[in-house]
Amino acid sequence: MELSGRSVVITGVGRPGQLGEAVAAAFSARGAKLFLVDRHEAEAQGRADALLAAGGRAAALVADLTDATQVEALAERVRGATGGRVHAVVHLAGGFAASGPVAVSDPAVWNAQFALHATTAYLVARAFLPQLRAARGSLAFFASEAVLPGGRSAELSAYAAAKAAVVALMRAIAQEEAASGVRANALAPSAIRTAANVASMPAGTPMVAREAVADVVLWLCSEQARAVTGQLVPVR
């Protein structure tokens, strides 16, 4: 899968050992030019520096993706560097929080989870769709196995509902953009073997490798998946 000359935006690239690092490495290894976005400059720059040292092409960008003005400014910076053509946007930004039973849950957790997942996904998609149309590109969102039939959502209502909103957004975009050639899909992974999950979850918890998740993202953003849009893809 060759991606030389293609521009890819990855949001929420995060710390070492997290999923964003593996996704960025997978795209970089295939020649893509990456725009790595995080709300923390040190994280975005650290991931970009590692790829540059390995011979890749990467730029670090900083934005609070819950802020519409900052997201629009981010998209303009990318537009200036790409000539207005983005081939893929991989939206990883988010954050997990258990909300507890609905009857005793804190509305602040609900609001925060929707901001981190649904609002950021909406603002990023809205800002980058013109550049994706120009390249007939692909959007990859992240849901969770919690939104799959039979998925566990007890005491995770805020997280699960926010991820379900991301899936609804993805399906709307897939339908709206079918004529433009822009594709939108979402992954629904089980627990991913990230540094944070390994440190916080019980030993022996089944996890999917970061690299396996990255492979699915690569495929969804490739020409091999040109006919795939509006799909929620379990990854276990």
The string of pLDDT tens digits covering residues 85-108 is 999 999 999 999 999 999 999 999
* Cα separation, 11 vs 94, whole angstroms: 9
pTM over 0.95: yes
Of 3.40.50.720, 3.30.565.10, 3.40.50.620, 2.40.70.10, the CATH number of 7-235 is 3.40.50.720
Close Cβ partners of 18 (under 8 Å, ≥ 6 residues apart): 194, 195, 196, 210
Q: List the chain domain ranges.
A: 7-235
Question: How do residues 104-163 score in pLDDT, each as one tens digit?
Answer: 999 999 999 999 999 999 999 999 999 999 999 999 999 999 999 999 999 999 999 999
Work out the burial of residue 48: count CB atoms within 10 Å of its CB; fewer than 13 is exposed, 13-18 middle, 19 or more buried.
buried
Alpha helices per DSSP H over the chain:
19-29, 41-53, 68-82, 107-114, 120-135, 157-176, 195-200, 210-220
